[in-house]
Structure 1
Amino acid sequence: MSQIKKGSITRLGFDFIPQVFIPKGKDENHHRFEQNPRSDYRNLTVEEIVILIENGNRADNWENILVSESFIPYQIRQSNFFGLVRIGHMAPTYLEYRNLKLESGIYNSTIVSSDLGDYVAIHHVRYMSHFIIGNDVILSNISEMETSSTAKFGNGVLREGEAEDLRIALELCNENGVRSILPFDGMQAADAYLWTRNRQDTVLQHRFKELTEKRFSTVRGTYSMIGDRCIIKNSQNIKNVQIGSDAYIKGINKLKNLTINSSPEAFTQIGEGCELVNGIVGYGCRIFYGVKAVRFILSSFSQLKYGARLINSFLGDNSTISCCEVLNSLIFPAHEQHHNNSFLCAATIMGQSNMAAGATVGSNHNSRAADGEIIAGRGFWPGLCVSLKHNSRFASYTLLVKGDFPYEMDIPIPFSLVNNDVKNDKLMIIPGYWFMYNMYALVRNANKYASRDKRLLKNQYLEYDMLAPDTINELFNSLRIIELAVGSQMNEESNSLTKEEIIRAGRAKLTGPLDQIPTSVLVKGFEHSKRKVELVKIGTAYPLFKRFIQYYGTIHMIDFLETHSFEELKNEMTNSQRLEWENIGGQLIEKNAIDQLLREIKSGKIDDWEDIHKYYHELSRSYLETKRAHAFASLLEITDVRSESISVEIVQAWLKEAISHRTWMVDEIYASRAKDYENPFRNMVYNSEEERDLVVGKLSENSFILQQRDELNGFIKCVHKLISKLSN
């Protein structure tokens, strides 16, 4: 049975906070006055009250209506007021936004215990309770706006007297909730990642919760707020919200328990049919057309469109989800997911990812338990209609071919294509597929993500380059995997060799005559099955991996030599180390620095989330230097040169090889795009080459290819200049 309460009409605007929770010496408005400390209000005059009544207005007590000196009673009509209502400056003006022109003032509305800013236009707001409205705000045709005394605005905290089961948590990474975190306004993907890891460390987990609770008061009575210049129109239910300035909201069904960040430089828009509950929305977001989001964080400059569903999930900056459903997932920045039947569940996706149409990553219900989790490095791309089984893990830039993958997988080799070969009942992997067949997309994507990074304050360095400490370390590991696999295949009958001896044998084979290198090799540990797992084209992949590692080291050496001498280079390389790195929220950090951060959190040396964020920012400022040290160490390791043996001649040879490799890359960029123009099946839909070039553009005028060629010419000139400089 519905619990309908009754009370005196004279108390309608009062008793917002239960008496037991009002601090001693305070009243129920104490928090409201802190939020809006403005004091230039006065009581209504008798003449003003008469005019208000003649215009069809009524109040439970006109003494509780406070106004500014520029009050215009004629601009308030057919409205009801209850409790303490404070009204800012008024003027005989109208407010206009996108052809909607509304007279400033208050019309056909019911206002309960709220503060209204200067020059607002409030029309047909059927019920507004306990709100603070900013200046120049337009509110038109809204069914219900209300605030509860325990409003938390999407943050995972409790107010005084609340039970633990009322706390909002995000159940990220898998479906069983054991990686739950407490959301808060300002949370970054790195925060969520660190909190979801190391669950066995109870001290660390307690500290994360403690740091979050310290950010918020447990005192009841915070009012909802609508920032300056916001426009909200033709909407239904709005409850317990903090909305920043300049937001544009129209036609929504429900906004409940939310913080919606917005500013003049990064205004957020929310459109028709959306329902958002228990969440945080970042700056500059776009949310349109039937979106449903519950228990979520949507980071800045991200989009949800066309019926997208985001539930118990964190979506990083500069991402887009359109039409799809995402559950229980932690997604790093620069994620793209489109098409109505894409689905992502119980996963940690580490950015620059793209979900193809029909991909169903999760919720296969292929065990007796809830879905576990899938972890995928940067550049993850499950192809059309891919279906995966939990638990699985993928290295950076893994491309999955269309199909149902029936077993759990652990793919440690980056830039690979993974194919479920049903006919031959085996898993086939092409290491370095992207290098061999689609250099155009690989290089273009790095540029694309950087150009789409709209963050106003880029104090956290998000890595978009395909060659970075994470991918380079994976390439090094992949070389060992291939060497071990080849060595093992060569010595199948021998049990006397150690693992290192097998690796050396495989390395010798792979660096020997090309006609002696096997075209494929079997590996173990990539799939939880008894069938074969085959690496193919290893004779091409193996030297490519080495070339890209050397190129990575050399391009950093080139940058260094432009402003430093050979002696300084040699000294830098002597002190370099190739350490373990980790991707936390799109920022790459050395593992030892992460360990130090966690120790300082546990010890209390770092005692709030702002200090954690400063730690990220400090590491971001030194990232390029730290990355360069990693690149130098990688160069020495892959070329098997000791730092004390470096000579001018060796450096010049590396520079010349860099020109050769960069030239090959640009040629491959062109070749991989040219295939689309040479394919007769692609051309058959056009009645001539002229029509094709008109529709898709001329290959010779492709802006990205032309840009790459211009950059190559500049690169060659720069390197030749350095070679001459070293000769002198």
Structure 2
Amino acid sequence: MSNNYRNLTASEIAALERAGNRSTDWSKVEVCGSFSPDQLSHTTLEGTVRIGNGTTIRNSTIRNYAIGDSTHIESVTRMECRHRSAFGNGVLVATMNECEGRRVKIYDRMTAQTAYVLALYRHRPDTLHRIEAWIDALIGERSSDIGEVGRDCTIVGARFIREMRIGDRVTVDGASALENGTLCDDAYIGVDVKAYDFIAAEGTRIANGVTLERCFVGESVILDKGFSAGESLFFANSHCENGEAASIFAGPYTVSHHKSSLLIAGMFSFFNAGSGSNQSNHLFKSGAVHQSVHLRGCKFASGAYIMSPALEGAFTMILGHHSYHHDTSEFPYSYLIEKEGRSMLMPGANLVSYGAVRDIEKWPKRDKRRVKRDRINFEEYNPYVCRSLVAAVNTLNMLAGEDPDAETYTYKKVFIKASLLNRGLKLYNKAIVASLGAMLSKGAASPACDGRGRWLDIAGQYITKRAVDELLDAIDRAEVRTLEAMESRFSDFFERYDDYAHDWALGIYAELLGHEPSAEEVREAVEAGANAHTAMRRTTDADRDRDCSMEMAVSYGLDSDSPNEVRADYCNVRGLPLT
């Protein structure tokens, strides 16, 4: 923003008025030294207005705004700051719980990790009070009687822009209403968007009739094609179109593309919603008080339904209707399917699906962020999921040991067939070997990186529970005193992730061996892990080959009589080699 503002000269005012411009008080209009009257035409200026170098304004009404250099504003019905505002900072978002039990106070530099703590750690009210006090101080810094538009922005065809702070290189093209919000650098707002009490982080794209109310939209998130959301948080690289979200915590890479899909009162990350997928968060008794958590990598098939409360393990595929409040968090990479009105679990079944591999490989390739404020771990083999693999093996062995001759087993509202239990044990054991080998192959043992104990997935970041508890305890003791210091602790762990993961894997391997592993034993574990990974990939590659085989060419080459033409059509459309 330019700071060499000056008042208009009498000749400049006269020239402006000849060009159809007017002001309620020309003395409150400030311009840069190189200002030329031809920068404005048919524009009304009300209250305090500052105009940057090279900025042009046409056919618009501006009230109480400072506008940066080289920005173009045209055909805006009203851009006004009617009262003092923090521009979306401090808005309380009722994420996950529609009855406001998990409200998060949003701000323009909020990360997924801090939002996770604010939403999930309600058992530590004093800690949250201290964090919110830091946010309140930031709100004071962000508050102003004057709205802002940054440098190199384009704002055209908008109707009402009220109490907005707009960063650099932002485009607003045909928005209907933007009110009490912040648009960070490089954001794009398209036609017919209505957004109230919100913050949009760097590189977001919100377009084509989207409606938002009390939302945080994270870096490089896309909301498009009439999507509507209220009381929701969306973090890095999420992409939602057509459907609806109500009171959700959408961690990184939350995806929903279908008109008939509803995401409500839940937590998601690395998630994909099939068409017609739905959840209900109340039982018509106590109101909308229940929540569901769908851990990293879950997918809803078309028509999937969950009655909250419910919890699924990481990378679970959900098919059918489920209304018994299951908890499958111990069983990652599973299928949860409806069978005869009940919830049946297929433990580890997703480990042989190429779809899961494709998802894991595509996410880092689709990271469009520049700032990368949210910390995201993409590692396939990690302590968080591997811990669940170990727990799953222990639970399945326990179930089988209690009744070796049973045909089915019941555990936390799901049933498991004996044949699927045995298959799951084999798959999980192979995945544990691959995971430990991969983690031992990276990083190094370090006294400063204690990775022992339980690991968490904090909205995309893998981190030890010990590290989170130590951070929150440090906040309580006033050893961590600012948002920046809190974020630094998350970042420090993120930078040393491989060392922490190595230490965790070394401890688990020692438990399995019954002694501290030698260097040779570690090398053997790494080699065994690589072999297990290769064997698992052979299985998933075979699954991919089946999906790409000519058996799947039904409906291709529709008008062809020749099998060769059918093959050519199929291969060319699918991008497969002609063999």
1:169-248 equivalences under 5 Å are 169-217=92-140, 221-248=144-171
- Residues 1:448 and 2:362 are matched in the alignment: yes
Query: Quick one: which of 443, 451, 472 aligns to 2:386?
Result: 472
Q: What amino acid maps onto 2:325 in structure 1?
A: E
- Once residues 672 and 174 of structure 1 are traced to their aligned partners in structure 2, the CA distance between those partners, rounded to angstroms, is 39
Q: Deviations over 1:421-443 (max 9, x none)?
A: 12xx543211111123x1x2222
- Residues 1:327 and 2:237 are matched in the alignment: no
The residue aligned with 1:315 is: 234
- Once residues 340 and 373 of structure 1 are traced to their aligned partners in structure 2, the CA distance between those partners, rounded to angstroms, is 22
Q: Deviations over 1:282-325 (max 9, x none)?
A: 10111111101110001001100101112101011011001111
Are the structure 2 counterparts of residues 535 and 331 from structure 1 closer, same or farther at C-alpha, using a change threshold of 3 Å?
farther
SS in 2 for 1:464: coil
The residue aligned with 1:719 is: none
Residues 352 and 464 in structure 1, CA contact (< 8 A), matched pair in contact too: no
1:39 positional shift: 4.1
- Residues 1:44 and 2:28 are matched in the alignment: no
SS in 1 for 2:59: strand
1:409 positional shift: 0.9
Query: Quick one: which of 333, 336, 339 aligns to 1:418?
Result: 336
- Once residues 172 and 142 of structure 2 are traced to their aligned partners in structure 1, the CA distance between those partners, rounded to angstroms, is 29
Q: Deviations over 1:123-159 (max 9, x none)?
A: 110x211000111111111111110222121111xxx
- Residues 1:427 and 2:343 are matched in the alignment: yes
Q: Deviations over 1:152-211 (max 9, x none)?
A: 21111xxxxxxxxxxx31001112111112111111111111112232433123212212
1:539 positional shift: 2.0
Residues 519 and 536 in structure 1, CA contact (< 8 A), matched pair in contact too: no
- Once residues 63 and 98 of structure 2 are traced to their aligned partners in structure 1, the CA distance between those partners, rounded to angstroms, is 37
- Once residues 291 and 240 of structure 2 are traced to their aligned partners in structure 1, the CA distance between those partners, rounded to angstroms, is 20
1:621 positional shift: 1.4
Q: What amino acid maps onto 2:431 in structure 1?
A: F
- Once residues 432 and 185 of structure 1 are traced to their aligned partners in structure 2, the CA distance between those partners, rounded to angstroms, is 40
Are the structure 2 counterparts of residues 383 and 367 from structure 1 closer, same or farther at C-alpha, using a change threshold of 3 Å?
farther
1:244 positional shift: 0.6
1:22-421 equivalences under 5 Å are 38-45=3-10, 47-60=11-24, 62-73=26-37, 75=38, 105-112=39-46, 113-125=48-60, 127-156=61-90, 168-217=91-140, 221-262=144-185, 267-349=186-268, 351-363=269-281, 365-401=283-319, 403-411=320-328, 412-421=330-339
Q: What amino acid maps onto 1:120 in structure 2?
A: T
1:432-511 equivalences under 5 Å are 432-436=348-352, 438=353, 440-458=354-372, 461-490=375-404
- Residues 1:602 and 2:536 are matched in the alignment: no
Residues 510 and 516 in structure 2, CA contact (< 8 A), matched pair in contact too: yes
Residues 451 and 464 in structure 2, CA contact (< 8 A), matched pair in contact too: no
Residues 486 and 521 in structure 1, CA contact (< 8 A), matched pair in contact too: no
Are the structure 2 counterparts of residues 64 and 550 from structure 1 closer, same or farther at C-alpha, using a change threshold of 3 Å?
closer
The alignment of Structure 1 onto Structure 2 pairs a total of residues equal to 569
Are the structure 2 counterparts of residues 367 and 559 from structure 1 closer, same or farther at C-alpha, using a change threshold of 3 Å?
same
Are the structure 2 counterparts of residues 64 and 535 from structure 1 closer, same or farther at C-alpha, using a change threshold of 3 Å?
same
> What's the TM-score, normalizing by structure 1?
0.74
Q: Which protein, 1 or 2, shows the higher relative CO under an 8 Å CA cutoff with sep ≥ 6?
A: 2
- Residues 1:525 and 2:489 are matched in the alignment: no
Give the structure with higher Rg (CA). 1
Q: Deviations over 1:88-121 (max 9, x none)?
A: xxxxxxxxxxxxxxxxx11111111210111111
- Once residues 545 and 577 of structure 2 are traced to their aligned partners in structure 1, the CA distance between those partners, rounded to angstroms, is 7
- Once residues 30 and 218 of structure 2 are traced to their aligned partners in structure 1, the CA distance between those partners, rounded to angstroms, is 39
1:663 positional shift: 2.8
Give RMSD over aligned pairs.
2.5
Q: Deviations over 1:459-487 (max 9, x none)?
A: 76412233211110111110111011001
1:70 positional shift: 3.6
Q: Deviations over 1:664-722 (max 9, x none)?
A: 22322321111123363543433411111011022689xxxxxxxxxxxxxxxxxxxxx
Are the structure 2 counterparts of residues 55 and 363 from structure 1 closer, same or farther at C-alpha, using a change threshold of 3 Å?
same
Would you tell me which structure has more strand in proportion to its own residues?
2
Q: What amino acid maps onto 2:177 in structure 1?
A: K
Q: Deviations over 1:542-561 (max 9, x none)?
A: 1221221122122233346x
Q: What amino acid maps onto 2:322 in structure 1?
A: F
The residue aligned with 1:692 is: 570
The residue aligned with 1:623 is: 497
1:541 positional shift: 1.7
Are the structure 2 counterparts of residues 228 and 202 from structure 1 closer, same or farther at C-alpha, using a change threshold of 3 Å?
same
Are the structure 2 counterparts of residues 67 and 448 from structure 1 closer, same or farther at C-alpha, using a change threshold of 3 Å?
closer
Name stretches of at least 5 consecutive residues in structure 1 with no aligned partner. Answer: 1-35, 76-104, 157-167, 491-517, 561-568, 702-728
> What's the TM-score, normalizing by structure 2?
0.92
Are the structure 2 counterparts of residues 535 and 178 from structure 1 closer, same or farther at C-alpha, using a change threshold of 3 Å?
farther
Residues 552 and 635 in structure 1, CA contact (< 8 A), matched pair in contact too: no
The residue aligned with 1:680 is: 551
Name stretches of at least 5 consecutive residues in structure 2 with no aligned partner. Answer: 561-565
Residues 20 and 43 in structure 2, CA contact (< 8 A), matched pair in contact too: no
- Once residues 364 and 259 of structure 1 are traced to their aligned partners in structure 2, the CA distance between those partners, rounded to angstroms, is 33
1:651 positional shift: 4.9
